[in-house]
């Protein structure tokens, strides 16, 4: 299949369309706005549903409504907008309807800036909104991976009847690179006997996240936790580079993982036994595999475009059994591979 040159945001949008996304609701915010713009043309031309909402609050609740109808639905936003969507995401998760949310992260806190950042790790992987829940979080490091994970996101949302998110950043959203767009058959979706399509020839369906009185809510909580257990058992994904004989392993995801991959390769060229462990599912985090990897190495170097958020999960995975170094950049500052290489060198020759 021929590769074509695409911008990240547009590649994500096109991937969603090919995955059979039937409805898109969104609100402009840099650096993800090209997703909205791409959808505004393509979805309308395909006769699918596109609507620019009045806010991220409205957008996520439109997603909620369309999801209740059984529609394959998505929204996209950037960090500040994701904060606003947290309320709706909590409702969608509790209601057990499928939806996909793309977050192309930018700098924060506050209004921050529009540069690439990974500052939303906590709010995406640790629940984020109110109540006990997690959503699946997929982290692409290349545009091809962004396409593949976006397609996967819709299937996982259907499978677990929950929210699946893409944790991208301004770099993934804004760069261009050659990609392959898969031709996809119309999706085979599970039956949706729960959908709100009108109570014709059946009992009425009710979709709610309200469970007053007695043990009702606890039963739902336990069911949601059981689903999370299945997700943890089935959906852990990660990539490994040059772990053979590695003594210093960099742990990084998304754009940081991509930068680290170059740095690790250069370290090897210098004779430093470095490797890369790159989580792809940030939830469920690959705790067990990272723990295994850490058993045969001397040092871990966690590299993030944040103050150290995934760092906490790396420490949990390894229980601090080995030295864990951290290199982080905030405020939209994106280090070069050479800067990461310097950090590796410092560990190799203290």
Partner 1 sequence: MERKAVFANPEALTDDLTHYCPGCTHGIVHRLIAEVIDELEIREITIGIAPVGCAVLAYNYFNLDFAEAAHGRAPAMATGLKRVQPDKVVFTYQGDGDLAAIGTAEIVHAASRGENITAIFINNAIYGMTGGQMAPTTLPGQVTTSTPFGRDVKLAGYPLRVAELIATTSGAAYVVRRMVTKPATIASAKKAIKLAFQAQRAELGFSLVEILSSCPTNWGLSPLEALEWVEESMAAYYPLGDYKVIDEVKSLR
Residues that bind partner 1 (CB under 8 A): 22-23, 25, 49, 51, 53-55, 57-59, 61-69, 71, 73, 87-88, 91, 95, 196-201, 204-210, 212
Determine contact, residues 64/97, Cβ cutoff 8 Å: yes
- Nearest approach in angstroms of CB 319 to partner 1 is 39
- Nearest approach in angstroms of CB 43 to partner 1 is 11
Determine contact, residues 34/200, Cβ cutoff 8 Å: no
Q: From CA 174, how far away is CA 152, in angstroms rounded?
A: 21
Our CB check for partner 1 shows the closer of 30 and 209 to be 209
Our CB check for partner 1 shows the closer of 208 and 349 to be 208
DSSP state of 150: H
* Buried-state track 264-287, b at ≥16 Cβ within 10 A, e below 16: bebbbeeebbbbbbbbbbbbbbbb
Strand pairing partners for 283?
Answer: 137
- Nearest approach in angstroms of CB 272 to partner 1 is 52
- Nearest approach in angstroms of CB 261 to partner 1 is 40
Our CB check for partner 1 shows the closer of 204 and 319 to be 204
- Nearest approach in angstroms of CB 24 to partner 1 is 10
Determine contact, residues 11/176, Cβ cutoff 8 Å: no
CA geometry: angle at 114 spanning 156 and 52, to 5°? 60
Determine contact, residues 46/72, Cβ cutoff 8 Å: no
- Nearest approach in angstroms of CB 77 to partner 1 is 15
Our CB check for partner 1 shows the closer of 63 and 330 to be 63
Instruction: Return contacts of 28-31, CB within 8 angstroms, 24+ apart.
Output: 28/52, 29/56, 29/77, 29/78, 29/80, 29/81, 30/78, 30/106, 30/114, 31/78, 31/104, 31/106, 31/114, 31/116, 31/170, 31/173, 31/174
Our CB check for partner 1 shows the closer of 43 and 172 to be 43
Our CB check for partner 1 shows the closer of 206 and 322 to be 206
Our CB check for partner 1 shows the closer of 67 and 260 to be 67
- Nearest approach in angstroms of CB 209 to partner 1 is 7
Using a 10 angstrom Cβ sphere, with 0-12 exposed, 13-18 middle and 19 or more buried, the burial of residue 347 is: buried
């Amino acid at each position: 299949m021929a590769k074509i040159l695409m911008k990240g945001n547009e590649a994500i949008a096109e991937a969603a369309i090919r995955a059979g996304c039937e409805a898109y609701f969104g609100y402009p915010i840099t650096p993800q706005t090209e997703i909205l713009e791409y959808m505004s043309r393509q979805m309308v031309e395909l006769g699918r549903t596109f609507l620019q909402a009045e806010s991220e609050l409205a957008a996520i609740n439109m997603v909620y409504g369309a999801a209740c109808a059984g529609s394959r639905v998505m929204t996209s936003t950037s960090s500040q907008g994701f904060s606003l969507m947290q309320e709706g995401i909590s409702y969608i998760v509790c209601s057990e309807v499928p939806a996909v949310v793309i977050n192309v992260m930018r700098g924060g806190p506050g209004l921050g800036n529009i540069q690439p950042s990974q500052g939303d790790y906590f709010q995406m992987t640790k629940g984020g909104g109110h109540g006990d829940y997690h959503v699946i979080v997929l982290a692409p490091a290349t545009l091809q991976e962004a396409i593949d994970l976006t397609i996967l996101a819709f299937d996982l949302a259907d499978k677990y009847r929950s929210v699946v998110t893409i944790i991208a950043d301004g770099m993934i959203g804004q760069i261009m690179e050659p990609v392959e767009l898969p031709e996809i058959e119309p999706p085979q979706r599970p039956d949706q006997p729960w959908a709100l399509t009108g109570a014709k020839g059946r009992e009425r369906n009710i979709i709610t996240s309200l469970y007053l009185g007695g043990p009702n809510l606890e039963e739902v909580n336990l069911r949601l936790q059981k689903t999370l257990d299945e997700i943890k058992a089935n959906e852990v994904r990660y990539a490994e580079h040059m772990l053979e004989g590695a003594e210093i392993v960099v742990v990084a995801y998304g754009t940081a993982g991509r930068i680290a991959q170059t740095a690790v390769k250069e370290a090897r060229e210098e004779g430093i036994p470095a490797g890369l462990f790159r989580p792809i599912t940030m939830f469920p985090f690959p705790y067990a595999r990272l723990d295994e990897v850490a058993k045969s190495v001397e040092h871990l170097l966690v590299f993030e475009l944040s103050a150290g958020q995934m760092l906490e999960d790396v420490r949990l995975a390894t229980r601090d059994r080995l030295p864990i170094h951290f290199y982080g950049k905030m405020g939209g500052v994106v280090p070069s591979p050479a800067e990461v290489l310097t950090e590796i060198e410092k560990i190799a020759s203290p």
